[in-house]
Amino acid sequence: MNQSQNHDESSLNKLDPNWRNDALDLGLDYGMQTIAVRAGQHRTDEGEHSEPIFTTSSYVYRSAADAAAHFDGTKTGNVYSRHTNPSVRTFERRLAALENGERAVATASGMGAILTMCLAYLKAGDHLLAANQLFGSSIGLFNNYMAKFGVEVSYVDCFDNEAWANAVQPNTKVIYCESPSNPLAQICDIGYLSQLCKANDILLVVDNCFATPALQRPLDLGADVVIHSATKYLDGQGRVLGGALVGSDELMQEAFTVVRSGGISMSPFNAWVFTKGLETLKLRMQAHCQNANQVAEFLVNHPNVSTVHFSGLSDHSAHELATRQHHMKNGYGAIMGFEVKASDSRDTKEAAWHVIDSTQMVSITNNLGDAKTTITHPATTTHFRLTAEARAEAGVKDGLIRLSVGLEDVEDIIKDLARGLDSL
Ligand SMILES: *Cc1c(COP(=O)(O)O)cnc(C)c1O
C-alpha cells in the first residue's frame, strides 16, 4: 500500500488537459495578478467557468482492480478528502504559485499549519529558535506542547541579527519568525536569517500572514517554508478558518504526510473561499496598506499616542528593511500597534480601554486581516494567557492597542479612533 502517491494530481478524475487555462499553472511566466485569478484551476468536463466546491469525503473507483491500484501505488488519484480534494488542491496550487513555491499544503487553520511544521521538522532533542514577537497561540504551542515532547524552545529579539546568530545551538533545527510580527509589526531580516540558516543546516520558517504574497515572498528571500493563517488576508472577509505551508516538494511531502495522518486537513468549502479570496488579494492589500499609511500618520501626530509600531513610518527602525523586503510600493501591511499615554485619571491600560470603548464603528475583536477594521488590547486578550515575563518579552505593554486597518473610508476609521484619543 503506497498512499504517499495520492498527492500526485496528475490523474485527478475527469481532467481534460485540452481545456484552455488548465495549463496555467506553477512555473509559467505570468504576472502575479494573472496567477491570482487563474492558477491552479482544473476544469471538469462540465465546463464550469468558476471553480466548483467538491463537497465529497471520498471517491469511487471504476472497479475493484482500479481501487487496488489506487492503494498499491500503481495509480494515483483521490482516495479520501483527508488526503486530497480537488477544491483544496486548487487553493494549494494557486497559493504555491503566488508564493513562488513548488507546492503548498493546506491545513484546517493557521495553528494547524504551525503544528504541522513542528511535527514535520522537529523531534525530541531538537532546538526551535523563535522570534520573541509571535502570534500568542504560536508561543503557547511552542512552550506548552513542543516542550512536552522534548523540543527545546528559546526566543530572540526578532530585529537583532547578532542575537539570532548567538542563539544558534548545535541542535537548532528550525528558526521561526513572523515578518511583520504580531502585535508590534516588527520586521525580521529574512535574507540575513536565510544565510544564518544555510550556514548551520537549519530550516527557516516564516509566517507570512501579515504581509501575504502580495507584499512579500519569503521563499524568494531565502526562507525554506512559508506559513499562512489563511483565516486572515487570504480570505480577507473573516468568514472561515484555514492555513497553509508552502515550500519545496520535498519539505511539503513531509508536511502533507503529517496533515493526512493527523487529520489537520482543510475543508473543501473553506478552500473554495480562499481560492476566490486570492483573486482579489493584491487589490485588497493595496487598499489596506494605503489606509494603514494614513492611519499611522494620524496616530503618530496625536499628542496622546506615545509610540506607533508600524514600519511604514519613515523614522521606524525597520523602515528601510521593510521597504527592501516588500515588493509592493508603499506596502507595509495594515496591522499596527500603538501605545497610548496615561492621563490624570487613567493609567495606560485604562487609557487603552477608553480608546477601544469609544469607537462606534471599528470592531472590538481579536481577529485581524479583515475588510472591517478591528481593534484589540493584546495584554488582556490575545496575549493574556502568557506569563507576565513572556508578555514583556513580546513587548506587549498595558497601553498597547493593536489595530488591523480595514477597507472602510479612511476618514471614518480616523474619526472613530480620534473619539477616544481626543477625550483621554
Ligand atoms: C491568526 C494567526 C495565526 C493562527 O491562525 P489561525 O487560523 O487562527 O489558526 C498564526 N499566525 C499569525 C501571524 C496569525 O495572525
Cα atoms in the Cβ-side hemisphere of radius 13 Å centred on 391? 17
Which residue is closest in CA terms to ligand 1's atom 6? 110
In the reported structure, the alpha carbon of residue 345 is separated from the centroid of ligand 1 by a whole-number distance in angstroms of 36
Q: Which helix (H) or strand (E) holds 88?
A: helix 86-99
For ligand 1, whether the C-beta of 109 sits within 6 Å is: yes
For ligand 1, whether the C-beta of 231 sits within 6 Å is: yes
Which residue is closest in CA terms to ligand 1's atom 11? 135
For ligand 1, whether the C-beta of 135 sits within 6 Å is: yes
**Mind listing the pLDDT tens digit of every residue in the chain (424 residues)?**
333 333 334 433 333 444 444 445 545 578 888 889 888 887 887 888 899 999 999 999 999 999 999 999 899 889 999 999 999 999 999 999 999 999 999 999 999 999 999 999 999 999 999 998 888 899 999 999 998 999 999 999 988 999 999 999 999 999 999 999 988 889 999 999 999 999 999 999 999 999 999 999 999 999 999 999 999 999 999 999 999 999 999 999 999 999 999 999 999 999 999 999 999 999 999 999 999 999 999 999 999 999 999 999 999 999 999 999 999 999 999 999 999 999 999 999 999 999 999 999 999 998 999 999 999 999 999 888 888 888 887 789 999 999 999 999 999 999 999 999 999 9
Q: Which helix (H) or strand (E) holds 105?
A: strand 103-107
Distances (CA, A) of 277 to 127, 235, 238, 366, 422: 36, 5, 11, 21, 37
In the reported structure, the alpha carbon of residue 135 is separated from the centroid of ligand 1 by a whole-number distance in angstroms of 6
Residue with cell 496598506: 289
Cell of 7: 498527492
Cis peptide leading into residue 52 (ω within 30°):
no
For ligand 1, whether the C-beta of 406 sits within 6 Å is: no
Distances (CA, A) of 360 to 163, 261, 414, 418: 43, 46, 12, 11
Cα atoms in the Cβ-side hemisphere of radius 13 Å centred on 311? 27
In terms of Cβ atoms closer than 10 Å to its own Cβ (0-12, 13-18, 19+), residue 424 is: buried
For ligand 1, whether the C-beta of 382 sits within 6 Å is: no
In terms of Cβ atoms closer than 10 Å to its own Cβ (0-12, 13-18, 19+), residue 26 is: middle
**Domains parsed from the chain with CATH numbers:** 3-279 (3.40.640.10), 281-422 (3.90.1150.10)
Strand, coil or helix: what is 225?
Answer: strand
Cα atoms in the Cβ-side hemisphere of radius 13 Å centred on 287? 16
User: Which residues, other chains included, contact 235 with Cβ-Cβ below 8 Å and sequence gap of 6+?
Assistant: 242, 273, 274, 277, 369
Angstrom distance (rounded) from CA 146 to CA 155? 14
Cell of 223: 526562507
Ligand 1 pocket, mutate which of 134, 188, 229, 335 (most atoms under 8 A from CB): 229
For ligand 1, whether the C-beta of 178 sits within 6 Å is: yes
Cell of 110: 493557521
In terms of Cβ atoms closer than 10 Å to its own Cβ (0-12, 13-18, 19+), residue 263 is: exposed
β-sheet bridge partners, residue 198: none
